[in-house]
Chain A
Amino acid sequence: MKSIRTVLTATTALCAAGSVYAADLEVTHWWTSGGEAAAVAEFAREFEAQTDNTWVDGAIAGGGGTARPVMVSRIIGGDPMGAFQFNHGRQAEELIEAGLLRDMTHVAEAEGWKDIVNPPSLLDACTVDGKIYCAPVNIHSWQWLWLSNAAFEKTNQAVPTNWDEFVAAAPALREAGITPMALGGQPWQSSGAFNVLMATLAGPDVLQQIYGDGDAEMAAGDKMTRVFQAASNMREMVQGSNVQDWNQATNLVITDQAGGQIMGDWAQGEFAVAGEVAGTDYTCLPGLGVIEVISTGGDAFYFPETGDAETEAAQDALAATLLKPNTQVAFNLKKGSLPVRSDVDLETANDCMKKGLEILGSGAIMPDVNMLNTEDTNNQLNDLFVQFFQDPSISADDAQARFVDIVASKD
């Protein structure tokens, strides 16, 4: 027994020694698609160029569902990574309350984040009890309709300029053997698309009332009935897009096999990687062309408590680097998202990004669903809408009734 124990302690000591090599900062994230990987590489490059530290990449593919248990285990297991990516919003609240994440207020103050981060709501989502715990890196909005120009040319139709025109153009696309709309099979895409329909067809206020205030009456009301009707139309349009991942669905649009897709602005990264040009190859309609509004969700980096001075110095350096103007430009151009600071020059941005920037500048913004709902509520919505979009036997009324239940019981 004694010898086993010695071996055990020796091994742990070895492992502990391994992690003391300072200035190696392990960063865990789930950005592994083409555009995402290219974007995160910019972070690593800037981080290593501007500081002496090394970026140790801990990418876990498969999205938050796969990566999150890894992150949480590492943190509660007492062997955290140097930094990790989470969606902005209510997801990290508990880790902060449990004192597992580092207070980064000193970096925020030194870098003047309060003055540069725009909209300020991004920083608010990082703030708990007046302390700042995360570094917001980008703004993502969901409310985009991506259309393949070639698909409409093939059917001798003008590229739609709003949702209704798109719905009207669908039968001709179907006849030409083109799936009118692409939708991946993963649950979050279904609920995401529905939330976009809700935010645009019923308006951001309705969304705010339902998700923000849990207004079940509004959820059962006429406005929402119309949204469910639209969703029911959409269900017919997405028949036949047999793909799972969001970027596979985007790829159907890129290769003109599908007419369009409702997806967040990150889809733009895929168009860019494929060498497509906004305006000529594809068209983007913010707010589905119905109402010009974008949500301001996004990604943020959090920094676990490690108790190691050298790691902390590297964490500070990373946090500062993430919001530097150069980094913001390089990263967001690749990722297809908007920078968190309005003082950077995005001249090289393409048409779609510029549209996004304009809307952001005009202040037509709404909170992201992630900031209003807990992941638990989102998960319930996922279950409902993935079932609704894949199973035509569920009527719009039944779906609405279940929707009302979820809203009524949300916390």
Chain B
Amino acid sequence: MSDTALLSSAPPVSGDAMTGPRGPKPRRRFSRRNIFIYGTLIVVALYYLLPLYVMIVTSLKGMPEIRLGNIFAPPVEITFEPWVKAWAEACTGLNCDGLSRGFWNSVRITVPSVLASIAIASVNGYALANWRFKGADAFFTILIFGAFIPYQVMLYPIVILLREMGLYGSLTGLIMVHSIFGMPILTLLFRNYFTSLPEELFKAARVDGAGFWQIYFQIMLPMSLPIFVVAMILQVTGIWNDFLFGVVYTKPDLYPMTVQLNNIVNSVQGVKEYNVNMAATLLTGLVPLVIYFVSGKLFVRGIAAGAVKG
């Protein structure tokens, strides 16, 4: 709990302008303050990296080494076999083609689902923030309420709903389900973001005679990169990692990668192969991780762009 005390124990900044987020570079490199900030961040970073380190190290070890050794020790003999096995050989039931089986399905599910859910939610947020109509608040409240409904409860009602729409078992149905469950949080996110944009912009555009879609595409969208990145992070992660919907609302030929991950991790063939589990885990997490690394830069650029006020 030392972190809570942190704000108050930080030495008050005297005069020099560097507290602000975009202030000039600090002049003294080893001020007490800098040591404190970097020290804290490094300690926190280590805590965050430890599990990743253990996962990577373990995935490169052979089983005998894992059984004897220290989980933090680097591998004595590096082997990529667990990775190969996780990707292409691990069995579930009769299918012994590892995670590779579901990879493209995951892509096919994630890409349209992320696009659809973000498109719908951003328009919702925009309508709620700038075009308040009667009853909008009530719908929004219900939506927020929906954010708290445990997924499991909605499983059967949605099965029935999809069946009635003739979408059960199809990709479209699954995309719809992801859009529905992504909607509450994303709508909240976009609504708050659009509310925080200066209202004069919107009013000026209306005076110029711009309509709903025109304002959305020409004024709101270009200013909203940061929030789109946050929304994308949320959705890519959520949808890529989803297991329940993927397995309940589709058929084996559309099962996402997480179904195989669950099968590898949950089905123990004799001894639990921790190295294969870890490799499978890392492989499954790779896509969201790569997106984070790429969008991390976008995130900053987006913020820079969004901060240039019109």
Binding site for B on A (CB under 8 A): 7-9, 11-12, 15, 18-19, 26, 29, 31-34, 37, 40-41, 44, 55-62, 66, 69-70, 73-74, 76-79, 245, 247-248, 251, 270, 273-274
Q: Is the CB of B162 within 8 A of A77?
A: yes
Instruction: Tell me the interface secondary structure of chain A in the complex.
Output: helix
Assembled-state Cα–Cα distance A40/B263 (Å): 15
Q: A19-B251, A34-B268, A273-B269 given; name 20 further pairs at CB < 8 Å.
A: A11-B171, A18-B253, A32-B263, A37-B92, A37-B93, A44-B94, A55-B94, A57-B93, A57-B95, A61-B264, A61-B265, A61-B266, A61-B267, A73-B249, A76-B156, A77-B163, A78-B163, A79-B251, A245-B272, A251-B270
Question: Which residues on B sit within 8 Å (CB–CB) of A19?
Answer: 251
How many interface contacts (CB-CB < 8 Å) are there between A and B?
113
Within 8 A of A (CB), among B251-284: 251-253, 259, 262-272
- Given known contacts A57-B95, A79-B168, is B159 in contact with A247 (CB within 8 Å)? no
A32 to B269, CA, bound (A): 7
Q: Which of A11, A58, A66 gathers most chain B CB within 10 Å?
A: A58
Task: State in angstroms the CA–CA spacing of A273 and B267 once bound together.
Answer: 15
In the complex, chain B residues 148-178 whose Cβ is within 8 Å of any chain A Cβ: 155-156, 159-160, 162-163, 166-172
The answer to whether the Cβ of B247 comes within 8 Å of any Cβ in the partner chain is: yes
CA gap between A56 and B249 in the complex, in Å: 18
| CB<8 Å pairs between A and B, sample of 26 | A7-B172, A8-B167, A8-B172, A11-B170, A15-B170, A32-B93, A33-B269, A34-B269, A34-B270, A37-B269, A40-B94, A41-B94, A57-B94, A58-B252, A59-B93, A61-B92, A62-B262, A62-B267, A66-B266, A73-B248, A77-B159, A78-B168, A79-B168, A245-B268, A245-B272, A251-B271
| Distance to closest chain A CB from B169 (angstroms) | 4
Instruction: List residues of chain A with CB within 8 A of the CB of B247.
Output: 60, 70
What B residues does A66 contact at CB under 8 A? 262, 266
Contact with A12, one of B167, B251, B268 (Cβ below 8 angstroms): B167
A247 to B272 alpha-carbon distance, docked (Å): 9
Contact A76 B93 (CB under 8 A): no
- The answer to whether B270 and A37 have CB atoms under 8 Å apart is no
Contact pick for B93, options A9, A29, A62, CB 8 Å: A29
Inside 8 A of B159's CB, which chain A residues have their CB?
73, 76-77
Contact partner, B156, options A29, A56, A73, A251, Cβ 8 Å: A73
Q: In the complex, how many angstroms separate the beta carbon of A94 from the nearest chain B beta carbon?
A: 13
Nearest CB on A from B251, distance (A) = 7
Given contacts A8-B167, A76-B160, A248-B272, A60 and B263 within 8 Å (CB-CB):
yes
Are A61 and B252 interface neighbours, CB within 8 A? no
Interface on B for A, CB 8 Å cutoff?
91-95, 155-156, 159-160, 162-163, 166-172, 247-249, 251-253, 259, 262-272
- Chain B residue numbers with a CB within 8 Å of A73 are 155-156, 159, 248-249
Q: Are B267 and A32 in contact (CB under 8 A)?
A: yes
Contact B91 A37 (CB under 8 A): yes
B155 surroundings in chain A (CB, below 8 A): 69, 73
Q: Which single residue of chain B is at the shortest CB-CB distance from A79?
A: B169
- A61 B262 Cβ-Cβ under 8 A: yes
Which residues of chain A are near B264, meaning CB under 8 Å?
61
Contacts of B93 in A (CB 8 A): 29, 31-32, 37, 40, 57-59
Chain A residue nearest in CB terms to B93: A59
Closest to B272 in A: A248
- Option from B252, B259, B262, B265 in Cβ contact (under 8 Å) with A26: B252
Q: For B263, give its contact among A15, A56, A61, A247 (CB under 8 Å).
A: A61
Q: How far is the CA of A7 from the CA of B170 in the complex (A)?
A: 12
The reply to whether B259 and A60 form a contact with Cβ atoms under 8 Å apart is yes
Residues in B with CB closer than 8 Å to A56 are 252
Task: Please name all residues of chain A whose beta carbon is closer than 8 Å to the beta carbon of B156 when the two chains form the complex.
Answer: 73, 76
C-alpha spacing A58/B264, complex, angstroms:
14
**Closest chain B CB from A249 CB (angstroms):** 11
Interface centre among A37, A59, A73, A74, by most chain B C-beta atoms within 10 angstroms, is: A73
Interface contact B94-A76, CB-CB below 8 Å: no
B104 to chain A, nearest CB (A): 16
- Chain B residues in 8 Å Cβ range of A12: 166-167, 170, 172
Specify which chain B residues have a CB less than 8 angstroms from the CB of A78 in the assembled complex.
163, 168
B94 to chain A: closest residue by CB? A57
Q: Which residues of A contact B265 (CB under 8 A)?
A: 61
A19 to B160, CA, bound (A): 20
**A11-B172, A69-B248, A73-B155 known; A32+B92 contact, CB < 8 A:** yes
Task: Note all chain A residues with C-beta closer than 8 A to B249.
Answer: 73, 77
Q: Does A33 contact B267, Cβ atoms closer than 8 Å?
A: yes
Q: Is the CB of B268 within 8 A of A77?
A: no
